[in-house]
Amino acid sequence: MISLSAISKVYGKKDTAFTALSDISFEVPAGSTLAVIGKSGSGKSTLMHIMSGLDRPTSGTIKIDDVELFNMKPKAMDAFRAGTMSFIFQAFFVEANQSCYQNVMLPLEIGQVPRRKRKSLVMNALKAVELDDKAGVLAGNLSGGQKQRLAIARAIVNQPKILFADEPTGNLDSTTGEKIMQLLFNLNKDLGCTLVLVTHDHELAARCQHQITIKDGHIESIVDRRAARKAQA
């Protein structure tokens, strides 16, 4: 369960103050899918940064499974984040001069996972994205879709509770993008991790259980598809 209450983010001071987010509150149950929709500059990325603890809100609180995120000391926060969340970015951010295996290993090293457990975890993650035959290949030699699959393998290797995906299909053609989305939804179902998808694509967002549309730092609309379906029934 992720719950946000009265999150605001203001950049600058007094005259030059710019409100990026104001009074954002919502809840997402664990294991569900959430789409944060908005045009560029709407504040959706800032919201994702705050939800993931990368950025501090000016006011408001975030609880993840009853742990208050910004009450922690930096060291505890790093450890909590290393064990709880993962990221997928539009530009992949895989290390081109390292092998696929080494790329996927990074979160395990950061999380200080015991060495004997690492190999099977990495190989399982690579298998889940069908890259297990490329373990020794340099990431730079992969195609765009493969790179994003590698990024997904890296994101799921330490079995995070929350997976943040920032425009994961933005740099891919529509066929490959569709495959990546299918993979993400399947992982959400199989691993039971909460998927937070940041996108400007309404079609993609429509496939998520929860949709939050952000406009000029405010929540424009919240849709809970499951609740809507229940209401229909």
Partner 1 sequence: MYTTDLIRRSGRSLASAKTRTLLTAIAIAVGTFALTLTLGASNGVQSYVKKIIANNFDPAELIVTADSGLINKTDTTKPQEYDSSFGSLTTAAGATVQVKKLTDADLLRLSQLPGVQRVRPAVSVALQYVTRPGMRKYVGTLTAYSSSQKPDLAAGTLGDDVPAGSIILPDGFLSSLGFSSAQAAIGQTVTIAVQPAFDQTSLQSAFASGGTAALSQLATPATTLQTYKIAAVSKTSTFSQPGTSLYLYASLAETQKLSDLTTKGTSSYRRYLTAFVKAADGTNPKKLDAVQTEVKALGYGAQSVADTEAFLTQIITILQGIVVAFGIIAVVASLFGIINTMYISVLQRTREIGLMKALGMRKRDINSLFRMEAALIGFLGGILGAGAAVLLGLVLNPWISNKLGLGGDPLLIFNYLQIALLVAALMIVATLAGLLPARKASRLNPIDALRTE
Is residue 149 a contact point for partner 1 (CB under 8 A)?
no
Q: Which residues contact 207 (CB under 8 A, 6 or more apart)?
A: 33, 35, 181, 185
Q: Does 78 bind partner 1 (CB under 8 A)?
A: yes
Q: Which of 5, 59, 112, 141 binds partner 1 (CB under 8 A)?
A: 112
Q: Angle at CA 47, nearest 5°, toward 7 and 147? A: 160
**Binding to partner 1 by residue 58, rule CB under 8 A?**
no
Taking residue 136's Cβ as centre, other Cβ atoms within 10 Å add up to 9
Indicate the residue among 112 and 221 with the shorter CB distance to partner 1: 112
* Residue 95 engages partner 1 in binding (rule: CB under 8 A): yes
CA distances from 95 to 4, 91, 121, 160 (A): 33, 11, 19, 21
Write the CA distances from 216 to 11, 26, 37, integer angstroms: 14, 17, 12
Give the three-class secondary structure for 214. strand
Contacting range for partner 1; rule: CB under 8 A; set: 24-32, 90-98, 182-190, 191-199: 90-98
Question: Interacting stretch for partner 1, rule CB under 8 A, among 18-26, 62-70, 71-79, 201-209?
Answer: 71-79
Binder among 65, 109, 190, 220 for partner 1 (CB under 8 A): 109
Q: Hey, which residues does 68 pair with through a beta bridge?
A: 63
Which residues contact partner 1 (rule: CB under 8 A)?
49, 52, 54-55, 74-75, 78-83, 85-87, 89-91, 93, 95, 97-98, 102, 106-107, 109-112, 115
